[in-house]
């Protein structure tokens, strides 16, 4: 069967969901008893929009292109129908083989997906293996030897196992590529293409991405056969679900302001984002020294350190987790009360991903951002992408506001006409004002104003 791209069907779920007992909506999607029982154990009562829109098609064997980010219930949207098909088929994987292959960009996300399959398949006796980098090969080889129903892997480590012939992919019936745009960011496209070559032509393929850059669109086209396309939570919708606020604050006072905020008991489980790994360590250290037990998670930490930090956060022993974007991608912790952007991310998509860690699956959440003078442009970009104006409170000390000159509405220069004045119309369009208003920095990266050094 050729895997060509057919016409994309944009169709929502139109079957009448029965309004009877709780969970009957899941049954109406075509899921059966052991899976519904597992869903009940998870505490879900109604399917999320992506589940409603994709599960019936996936049960029919269709390919899927899902434009969705975490927090939408997308993992269950692919795990549940895959488990249901396995139940119906009753097939067994050969030694070293698997029936479903899920590719994820990070170890955390892979572990999370593996846990989800185990949770949803808890009444089905399924075998799940998670194969990721940063840990020993031995136990993974052992787990793969007898064959598994579901293999969740990061691309690099899967290639290692393919090359060592520890795994075969010729029995794969379902393949899922999760967070494809993030795979691109991490340089995983070549290994993914290499892995796809190992798969049988006759298979069901599912492709999830929050955004569709060109290369990702091309990969989806090569991988999918006449997919159903489901789009949920466009950027603006996700952002709207979360109560957001911005605090203008001097760079040098961010840590202090954060520690103050955390003094409020409402901040019961807070995820703090920093742009750099060192920043994450520094913030976690400062908070712990100031009475707020915090741990840091980022790419330089070993797998066991990451797991310990995540465990402590989940269990509530460390109510604050400080993370970089990459490390946080796979974190799925329920009931994150607050997300704090200690630094704003460079791209608006990352902001949406970050704040999506709170207000999971319909719950309420709060996202706060500490914004210094140099981040005003980033804030503008975020507001533009999410089509909103975020409420802002100025927490700068008296005097700092005047020095940083923001918010900086473009002003008409007096006496116009000279060459210098040609900048004014551009500033009115919101462009070069960013650079001019940036506070001057000394070598340590701190602002130079008196109050900034306080
Ligand atoms: P995901 O988008 O897959 O990362 O899922 C986000 C969160 O939503 C996870 O914590 C899931 O356990 C939860 N979840 C998934 N489906 C449902 C549902 N139908 N009802 C309530 N919570 C759900």
Closest-CA residue to 93 (of 139, 144, 138): 144
DSSP state of 439: P
Tokens 């208003």 identify what position? 437
CA distance 262 to 268: 8
Nearest CA residue ID for atom 11, ligand 1: 73
Which helix (H) or strand (E) segment is 384 a member of?
helix 376-385
Residue ranges per structural domain of the chain: 13-232, 242-405
For residue range 135-166, what is the model confidence (pLDDT) as tens digits? 999 999 999 999 999 999 999 999 999 999 99
CA angle 238, 70, 332 (to 5 degrees): 120
Ligand 1 cavity residues, CB under 6 Å: 44, 47-48, 51, 70-76, 332, 334, 360-361
For residue range 74-98, what is the model confidence (pLDDT) as tens digits? 999 999 999 999 999 999 999 999 9
Across the range 192-197, mean pLDDT stands at 97
Closest-CA residue to 170 (of 198, 135, 147): 198
How does residue 63 score in pLDDT terms, banded at 50, 70 and 90? very high
pLDDT for the residue 378: 94
From residue 377, give the alpha-carbon distance in Å to each of 373, 383, 434: 9, 10, 6
How does residue 423 score in pLDDT terms, banded at 50, 70 and 90? very low
Burial tier of 216 (Cβ tally within 10 Å: 0-12, 13-18, 19+):
buried
Considering only residues 235 and 100, tell me which one the structure prediction assigns the higher pLDDT: 100
How does residue 428 score in pLDDT terms, banded at 50, 70 and 90? very low
How does residue 449 score in pLDDT terms, banded at 50, 70 and 90? very low
Q: Are 333 and 320 in contact (CB under 8 A)?
A: no
Cα of 158 vs centre of ligand 1, distance in Å, is 27
Considering only residues 257 and 318, tell me which one the structure prediction assigns the higher pLDDT: 257
Q: Are 352 and 234 in contact (CB under 8 A)?
A: no
* Residue 418 in this model has a pLDDT that exceeds 80: no
Sign of torsion over alpha carbons 23, 29, 32, 37: negative
Three-state SS annotation for 18-80: CCCCCCHHHHHCCCCHHHHHHHHHHCCCCCCHHHHHHHHHHHCCCCEEEECCCCCCHHHHHHH
Which helix (H) or strand (E) segment is 271 a member of?
strand 270-273
pLDDT for the residue 233: 60
Across the range 192-217, mean pLDDT stands at 94
pLDDT for the residue 451: 26
* Residue 448 in this model has a pLDDT that exceeds 60: no
From residue 334, give the alpha-carbon distance in Å to each of 63, 267, 360: 30, 14, 7
Cα of 147 vs centre of ligand 1, distance in Å, is 28
Lowest model confidence (mean pLDDT) among 196-205, 348-357, 381-390, 444-453 = 444-453
Across the range 369-391, mean pLDDT stands at 90
Across the range 294-323, mean pLDDT stands at 86
DSSP state of 360: G
* Residue 438 in this model has a pLDDT that exceeds 50: no
DSSP state of 186: T
For residue range 233-271, what is the model confidence (pLDDT) as tens digits? 654 455 567 899 999 999 999 999 999 999 999 998 999
Closest-CA residue to 319 (of 347, 291, 349): 291
Cα of 228 vs centre of ligand 1, distance in Å, is 21
Closest-CA residue to 253 (of 351, 371, 379, 382): 371
Nearest CA residue ID for atom 15, ligand 1: 73
Predicted TM-score of the model (pTM)? 0.59
Identical fold between 13-232 and 242-405: yes
pLDDT for the residue 402: 53
Across the range 275-299, mean pLDDT stands at 92
pLDDT for the residue 373: 94
Considering only residues 210 and 34, tell me which one the structure prediction assigns the higher pLDDT: 34
* Residue 408 in this model has a pLDDT that exceeds 60: no
Closest-CA residue to 294 (of 284, 305, 307, 308): 284
pLDDT for the residue 454: 19
Cα of 48 vs centre of ligand 1, distance in Å, is 8
* Residue 200 in this model has a pLDDT that exceeds 70: yes
pLDDT for the residue 440: 32
pLDDT for the residue 57: 97
For residue range 171-188, what is the model confidence (pLDDT) as tens digits? 999 999 999 998 988 889
Best residue among 360, 362, 364 to mutate for probing ligand 1, ranked by most atoms within 8 Å of CB? 360
The maximal CA–CA distance of the chain, rounded, in angstroms, is 82
pLDDT for the residue 11: 25
Best residue among 22, 44, 333 to mutate for probing ligand 1, ranked by most atoms within 8 Å of CB? 44
Nearest CA residue ID for atom 21, ligand 1: 44
Closest-CA residue to 246 (of 388, 409, 368): 368
* Ligand 1 atom closest to 43 (CA): 21
pLDDT for the residue 228: 96
* Residue 413 in this model has a pLDDT that exceeds 80: no
Q: Does domain 242-405 have CATH number 3.40.50.300?
A: yes
Best residue among 27, 51, 70, 73 to mutate for probing ligand 1, ranked by most atoms within 8 Å of CB? 73
* Residue 429 in this model has a pLDDT that exceeds 80: no
Ranked by mean pLDDT, the top range of 105-114, 156-165, 355-364 is: 156-165
* Residue 22 in this model has a pLDDT that exceeds 70: no
Q: Are 133 and 157 in contact (CB under 8 A)?
A: yes
Q: Are 93 and 147 in contact (CB under 8 A)?
A: yes
Cα of 47 vs centre of ligand 1, distance in Å, is 9
**Residues of the chain with pLDDT > 90: what percent?**
57
**Residues of the chain with pLDDT > 70: what percent?**
79
pLDDT for the residue 93: 96
* Residue 5 in this model has a pLDDT that exceeds 90: no
CATH ID of 13-232, from 3.40.50.300, 3.40.50.720, 3.40.190.10, 1.10.10.60:
3.40.50.300
Cα of 71 vs centre of ligand 1, distance in Å, is 6
Cα of 72 vs centre of ligand 1, distance in Å, is 6
């Amino acid at each position: 069967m050729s895997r060509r791209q057919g016409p994309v069907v944009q169709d929502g779920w139109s079957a009448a969901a029965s309004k009877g007992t709780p969970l009957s909506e899941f049954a109406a999607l075509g899921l059966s008893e052991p899976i519904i029982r597992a869903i009940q154990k998870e505490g879900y009562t109604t399917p999320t929009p992506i589940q409603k829109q994709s599960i019936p098609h996936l049960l029919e064997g269709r390919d899927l292109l899902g434009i969705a980010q975490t927090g939408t219930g997308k993992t269950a949207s692919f795990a549940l129908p895959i488990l249901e098909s396995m139940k119906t088929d009753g097939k067994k994987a050969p030694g070293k083989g698997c029936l479903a292959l899920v590719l994820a960009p990070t170890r955390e996300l892979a572990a999370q997906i593996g846990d989800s399959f185990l949770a949803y398949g808890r009444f089905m006796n399924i075998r799940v293996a998670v194969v990721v980098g940063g840990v020993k090969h031995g136990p993974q080889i052992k787990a793969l030897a007898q064959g598994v129903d579901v293999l969740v892997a990061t691309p690099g480590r899967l290639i290692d196992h393919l090359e060592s012939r520890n795994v075969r992919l010729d029995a794969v019936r379902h393949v899922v590529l999760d967070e494809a745009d993030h795979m691109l960011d991490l340089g995983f496209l070549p290994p993914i293409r290499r892995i796809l070559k190992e798969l049988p032509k006759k298979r069901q393929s599912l492709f999830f991405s929050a955004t569709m850059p060109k290369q990702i669109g091309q990969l989806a086209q090569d991988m999918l056969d006449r997919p159903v396309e489901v789009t949920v939570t466009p950027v603006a919708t996700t952002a709207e679900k979360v109560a957001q606020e911005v605090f203008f604050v001097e760079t040098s006072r961010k840590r202090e302001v954060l520690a103050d905020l955390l003094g409020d008991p409402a901040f019961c489980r807070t995820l703090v984002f920093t742009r750099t790994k060192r920043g994450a360590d520094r913030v976690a250290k400062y908070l712990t020294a100031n009475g707020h037990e915090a741990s840091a998670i980022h790419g330089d930490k070993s797998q066991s350190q990451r797991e310990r930090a995540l465990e402590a956060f989940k269990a509530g022993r460390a109510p604050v987790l400080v993370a970089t974007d990459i490390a946080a991608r796979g974190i799925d912790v329920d009931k994150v009360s607050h997300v704090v952007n200690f630094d704003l991310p460079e791209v608006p998509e990352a902001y949406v991903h970050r704040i999506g860690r709170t207000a999971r699956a319909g719950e309420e959440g709060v996202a706060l951002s500490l914004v210094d003078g140099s981040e005003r442009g980033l804030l503008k970009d975020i507001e533009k992408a999410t089509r909103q104006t975020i409420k802002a409170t100025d927490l700068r000390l008296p005097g700092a506001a005047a020095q940083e000159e923001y918010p900086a509405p473009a002003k008409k220069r007096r006496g116009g006409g000279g060459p210098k004045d040609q900048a004014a119309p551009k500033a009115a369009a919101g462009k070069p004002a960013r650079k001019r208003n940036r506070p001057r920095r000394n070598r340590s990266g701190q602002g130079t104003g008196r109050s900034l050094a306080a």
